[in-house]
Amino acid sequence: MAEIGNNIAVAKQLLEQGALVAIPTETVYGLAGNALNESTVLEIFKVKNRPQFDPLIVHVASLESAKELVDDFPEKAKKLALQFWPGPLTLLLKKKSYIPDLATSGLDTVAIRCPDHELTLSLLQQLAFPLAAPSANPFGYISPTRPEHVNEQLGEKIKYILDGGECTVGIESTIVGFENDLPVVYRLGGLSIEKIESVVGNVRVQLNTSSNPKAPGQLKSHYAPKKKMRLGNLTELIRDYGTGRVGVLTFKTHLSQISDRNQIALSSKGNMEEAAQKLFASLRTLDKLDIHIILAEEVPDMGLGKAINDRLRRAAAD
């Protein structure tokens, strides 16, 4: 298994040698490697068993670092970066030619963000290259929000996990691109549409569910547990599947007909931030139970709820 520690110098040395390191961010843990080294980028795809048509996010230490990687930084993109970086915002921008096509799946755009985590920001500031870092889990499975989540599934394939504790946001970043200067949200995430619109005005939401994504995290089936999962009205689902070997994920309700061990409420107080933070860890917990199926309900579709529901729908997709 991988060593878990908070030694930035160890992580830096491994990354400079071309190895992969799991890094903490406020969203989820990332599987990081030198974004400018094609063989390292290829290793990220291999370790995750990730299809090469699904592009990676490149992590940088600052807005100035990001500008070095792109041909154009639109004014609205600058406004968003100044307001929300470091933070759960990824910008999709026209890339410089020296960024490997493999990292962007052959697209002429690169997804860039500045993560809001003290350890990883310090690491990025000490490196001479940006880090490509998709979520540190096997492709398609539930994203990791704790170091032990990474070790459970990739610990035999990497040497080091930089331990930054539990992720504070818990779902991936919101991805925003630009078409004719109009902001377009390609992936819902930890930064709400309402906050984005407060800075740049109206945005268009374009969530791809095909096998030809323009940005990371757009595939129809994603973030999924190994157990079958169904999403809908819990009363109807329990009527269909019974109360025996089922796991239940609710927003805030406790169901008397389901054993306490087999149900998790994302936030008993109905707090959307808490629900987002607990989502992936809760799915992992239910996935490990001796059950046949996970039954879940959507949360109120507002603010971060839109991103939570996006993850739930993709997790439950056939």
CATH number at residue 276: 3.40.50.11030
- Say whether both 147 and 244 belong to one domain: no
Chain centroid to Cα 175, Å, comes to 10
Say yes or no: 107 and 28 in one domain.
yes
pLDDT of residue 211: 52
- Per the structure, the complete domain to which residue 257 belongs is given by 228-316
pLDDT, tens digit, for every residue of 176-211? 999 988 999 999 999 999 999 999 999 999 986 555
Element (H, E) at 293: strand 293-296
Q: What is the rounded distance in angstroms from the CA atom of residue 227 to the CA atom of residue 156?
A: 23
Closest CA to 187 of 209, 160, 167, 166: 209
> Which stretches within the chain are classed as H helix?
8-16, 38-48, 63-67, 75-84, 118-126, 147-154, 193-200, 234-241, 272-287, 305-316
Q: By CB neighbour count within 10 A (0-12 exposed, 13-18 middle, 19+ buried), where does 218 fall?
A: buried
- Residue that wins the pLDDT comparison between 258 and 218: 258
| Peptide bond before residue 300 is cis, with ω within 30 degrees of 0 | no
179 and 240 part of one domain: no
The answer on 84 and 8 residing in a single domain is yes
Q: Is residue 123 included in any domain, yes or no?
A: yes
232 plus 194 within the same structural domain: no
The mean pLDDT of the chain is 95
In a domain, 238, yes or no: yes
pLDDT at 184: 96
Dump pLDDT digits (tens) for 85-108: 999 999 999 999 999 999 999 999
pLDDT tens string 3-61 = 999 999 999 999 999 999 999 999 999 999 999 999 999 999 999 999 888 899 999 99
Report pTM.
0.94
CB 25 within 8 A of CB 116: yes
Assign 137 a pLDDT band (cuts: 50, 70, 90): very high
CB 28 within 8 A of CB 172: yes
Tell me the mean pLDDT in the region 101-124. 97
Looking at the structure, tell me whether residues 88 and 192 fall in a common domain.
yes
* Residue 210 maps to a domain: no
Q: What is the model's pLDDT at position 222?
A: 73
Q: pLDDT (tens digit, 9 = 90+) per residue, 146-184?
A: 999 999 999 999 999 999 999 999 999 999 999 988 999
- Type and span of the H or E element at 91: strand 89-94
pLDDT in tens, 47-77: 999 988 889 999 999 999 999 999 999 999 9
Q: How many domains does the chain have?
A: 2
The answer on 151 and 295 residing in a single domain is no
Cα–Cα distances (Å) from 78 to 74, 93, 247, in that order, read 6, 11, 44
State yes or no: pLDDT of 212 exceeds 60: no
Query: Average pLDDT for residues 258-274, to the nearest whole number?
Result: 97
**Domain assignment of residue 147, yes or no:** yes
> Is residue 263 included in any domain, yes or no?
yes
Rounded to whole angstroms, the Cα distance separating 286 from 297 reads 14
